[in-house]
Structure 1
Amino acid sequence: MKSQSHVQMFRRWICLLSLLSLPLLFWFGHLIMREDDYPSGQSSGLRGYTRIRPDGKSQFLDIHCDSCALVSSSGQMLNAGAGEEIDQIGCVIRMNNAPTSGFEKDVGSRTSVRVVSHTSVPLLVKNEQYYFRQEADTTYVIWGPERNMRQDGKGPVFNLLLKMATKYPKARIFAITREKIQDCDNVFQNETGKNRMKTGAFLSTGFFTMILAMDICDGVTVFGMIDNNHCSRANRSVVPYHYYEQNRVSECRMYQVHESTRRGGHRFITEKLIYARWAARHNIQFKHPSWSL
């Protein structure tokens, strides 16, 4: 009888321990899932943008802005006088190597994020001390095709960026992932009904910048971007393609050539039509010039 009593007591203790252990097991399982979801302890951020780090550890872009100024590189910014307004907005997003020095009155002086095409990376590296050391507070987001951004040692642009990340450890350099670029292709196809690759086009840096702005900003004010009808208007303003390259081809000429080229062009005008649709669904407004949505 005493032996049976001990067995029953032992069983009760086992049941009690099991009940007490269940919450602990659930909690431990939750920790394991979180670690799997966010490699290397990364617990937040946008998975479509990964930091280029010498140690190879995974880190996602973790930026949120209540309000953003997206500053176009267009010649429309010349004499806009928008610099002070731009600098007062929470986050300022620029593209490629568009300079601020000498243009502060029109485009402002602050840069929070710079979205850069793989083709413009050498221009940044050419002035690496400025971009990756002096402007270390700026976050760089790079886009490019797999052939240039592959991470197996055979991606020339990725290798160049990895060299910069090694040389300037404080520089915040992120790459748009292959999956995110595919998502952007899908967005283009959903909006136009056309497969981006079959049309022989490349998405522009502006397209990736607009996508990023919607990812990180609650509200976006776009400066210096023309709408899709601008170049067909008789009284349109004639400005250079870039505000910092005044002797180059005009903006509308560049847009029209790219829109009609069969292979290798950007569909700038089509993209502007897409942005107008996005503005109707998101908190996006356009200034210098303003758009009638």
Structure 2
Amino acid sequence: MNPLMHRWLCLLSLSLLALFWFGHVIRRDHPAPSPAAPPAGIRGYTRVRPGEMDQLLALRCGRCALISSSGQMIGAGAGEEIDRAGCVIRMNNAPTRGYERDVGSRTTVRVASHTSVPLLVKNERYYFQQSANTTYVFWGPERNMRQDGKGRVFNTLLKVAKKYPDVQIYAVTGDKVQDCDNVFQNETGKNRLKTGAYLSTGFFTMILAIDMCDSIQVYGMIDNNHCTQANNSAVPYHYYEKSRLDECKMYRFHENTSRGGHRFITEKAIYAKWAKLHKIEFKHPSWNP
């Protein structure tokens, strides 16, 4: 090999070594970006707050107490037991003040329908200021919960979120509402819309509890056969509305109405099926699926 060719090969080798070393330093100091991680939290529940609409509900509990609003809770004396749960889940505007002995005083999550928003806003200082450590989850039809400025209920929640920035307010997404409709149809073989039914807040609450809890103790919820038993006790539909229609009369009316009713009795039968798949226990009254 002539001297000129030898020098050229040496320079080429040195250049390649330099490039290899430089590339190693670049990779060490500036590693390639990792694939974007999916957002943490439970899908189907998004934050109601400007700039944080893509934030998912990040809440996980071991043992949950899910408190029915039923008059079955009157005289239950379960307050201390309920408050010992990792998370306490309540519905709509069901109060604790004055009922602590029976229903407890803590509220970790409150699931509420679009129709309950005015009731909560009417007493907003209690729900969103004094109870600022409660997470609120609201569900409703697309026409009320749409986020394009035309969703009347969503707009109200947005105003509340701006006024009380420390409060955790979430909305059930349209996709999740559709998923719940699909669950109802899969369990019953009936299309909810075609049968003129509306899912209850209890249905959305039970699904959220299954999403976020390792085990669930349900308080004050009767089974689907309770109202047909001769010895069933007449209690108010809500424990905090003693003068209103009793629970079984309300359930039978909704179950049999052709339009706009909740299928409370059918839903209870569904919960009994779920209890065989998940760790769900029913108390006050106690019953086995």
TM-score by length of 1: 0.92
- Aligned equivalent of 2:225: 229
Q: Quote the Cα distance in structure 2 between the aligned partners of 1:13 and 1:266.
A: 74
Of residues 218-227 and 85-94 in structure 1, the stretch that sits farther from structure 2 once superposed is 85-94
Of residues 188-197 and 273-282 in structure 1, the stretch that sits farther from structure 2 once superposed is 188-197
- Aligned equivalent of 1:68: 64
**Residue identity in the other structure for 2:185:** Q
Q: Does 1:210 align with 2:215?
A: no
Deviation at 1:252, TM superposition (A): 0.8
Q: Quote the Cα distance in structure 1 between the aligned partners of 2:128 and 2:288.
A: 39
TM-score by length of 2: 0.93
The 1:57/1:189 distance shift into structure 2, 3 A limit, reads closer
- Aligned equivalent of 2:187: 191
1:186-236 deviation line (CA, Å, top 9, x unaligned): 111111122222221111000000011111111100000000111111111
The 1:60/1:235 distance shift into structure 2, 3 A limit, reads same
- Aligned equivalent of 1:41: none
**Residue identity in the other structure for 1:178:** G
**Residue identity in the other structure for 1:263:** R
Deviation at 1:57, TM superposition (A): 4.5
Q: Does 1:45 align with 2:49?
A: no
Structure of greater Rg: 2
Deviation at 1:9, TM superposition (A): 3.0
Question: Residue 29 of structure 1 is aligned with which of 15, 33, 38?
Answer: 33
**Residue identity in the other structure for 1:6:** L
Q: Does 1:3 align with 2:24?
A: no
**Structure 2 matches for 1:94-113, cutoff 5 A?**
94-113=90-109
- Aligned equivalent of 1:245: 241
- TM-align CA RMSD: 1.7
- Aligned equivalent of 1:292: 288
Q: Which runs of 5+ in 2 are unaligned?
A: 1-5
Are 2:77 and 2:101, in contact at CA under 8 Å, matched by a contact in 1? Answer: yes
The 1:87/1:152 distance shift into structure 2, 3 A limit, reads same
**Residue identity in the other structure for 2:132:** A
1:46-95 deviation line (CA, Å, top 9, x unaligned): 12111111334521111111111000000100111111111111111000
Q: How many residues align?
A: 284
- Aligned equivalent of 2:271: 275
**Residue identity in the other structure for 1:3:** W
2:204 alignment partner, SS class: helix
- Aligned equivalent of 1:265: 261
1:104-158 deviation line (CA, Å, top 9, x unaligned): 1111111111000000000000000110000000110000011000011100100
Q: Quote the Cα distance in structure 1 between the aligned partners of 2:190 and 2:19.
A: 64
**Residue identity in the other structure for 1:29:** P
Q: Quote the Cα distance in structure 1 between the aligned partners of 2:142 and 2:176.
A: 12
- Aligned equivalent of 1:126: 122
Of residues 190-199 and 119-128 in structure 1, the stretch that sits farther from structure 2 once superposed is 190-199
1:29 alignment partner, SS class: coil
